[in-house]
Chains A and B, each alone.
Chain A
Amino acid sequence: MNMTTEQIQARAPVTILRLQGDLDGSNYRAVIDRARELYQAGARHLLVDLAGTPYMSSAGLVALHSIALLFRGSEAPDPEDGWRAIRAVGEAAESGRQEHVKLLNLQPKVVRVLDQTGLLPFFETHTDQDTAVASF
């Protein structure tokens, strides 16, 4: 898994985290750690670009949940907590979708996993970077 970041100054400063490669049990913790580093460095609006991620297992779901919690200022749950992490994200989403973490360029297999687990509605998704950045 290769990860790169880019800072864009729009209406709000947005950090783009681009993932390259499959997101699975071998690397989801590294993705959470990178997001934590970005948050600790001051990032508050994160756009996760998954154009280069053709495949994601449920480990990737845990990564996205944890990142969403991090960027709303909550401590990320233990990744092994599974549904507890999802529940926490759900609590944040009750008033709407995640405001601080949005997803860009979801690939079909990733959409399917998010959809099958009922998590897709909790994330705002985009296919155009400019539109996504402007949405924060």
Chain B
Amino acid sequence: MRYNIAQDGKADTRPRAAISMTLMLRIAAEVNNLLAIRRFVQDAAAALAVPAPAIDDLVLAVDESITNVIEHGYRGQPGDVEIEVRRAGETVVVHLRDRAPPFDPTGLPDPDLTLSLEERPVGRMGVFLTRQLVDAVTYRLTGEGGNELTLTKRAVTPQPTSQEIPHEHDH
């Protein structure tokens, strides 16, 4: 497991708002590594000050995406996945890279949950869940002929409304 903390490797004393940090994990694409992958995403997002509810969503979204790569991309063949987590302003961005045969999951239609179960299309549960959990899912072919799936999620704690802000005279 490899964590790259800070691009220059030096202690970063800048204020949190100005911190630019990228954390990366490259690991064998095996289902037995899913727990390690979830823990990495959990720790990386926490290090990037992502609010807890957003961390839970990211962990599940990455799990679903990597499971698809393992089961439908590599199909039992050996290979690696690379997970890069970084903060970009008020969002957290997760890049998932693999060298499985090219496949763009963003083109898959969502199942229509308003239909009766008999009428629903087959498959795509993981992709459907991932779309629900993050704000954007994008895909591109990498220059090396692999896949890169990018998950973007807003990562700020909602500010309380004016009615929720306690006033000094509200003792």
Contact = CB atoms under 8 A, between A and B. Distances in A.
Contacts of B129: 57-58, 113, 116-117
Nearest to B129: A58
B111 A83 contact: yes
Query: Chain B contact residues: over half helix, strand or loop, or mixed?
Result: helix
A82 B124 contact: yes
Interface size class of B (residues with CB under 8 A): 20 to 34
Among B64, B111, B120, B125, find the residue whose CB has the most chain A CB atoms closer than 10 A: B125
B123 interface: yes
A: contact size bracket? 20 to 34
Contact of B56 (A24, A57, A81, A109): A109
A90 interface: yes
Nearest to A90: B117
Nearest to B114: A118
Contact of A83 (B34, B38, B125): B125
Interface of A: 22, 24-26, 55, 57-59, 61-62, 80-84, 86-87, 89-91, 93, 109, 113, 116-118
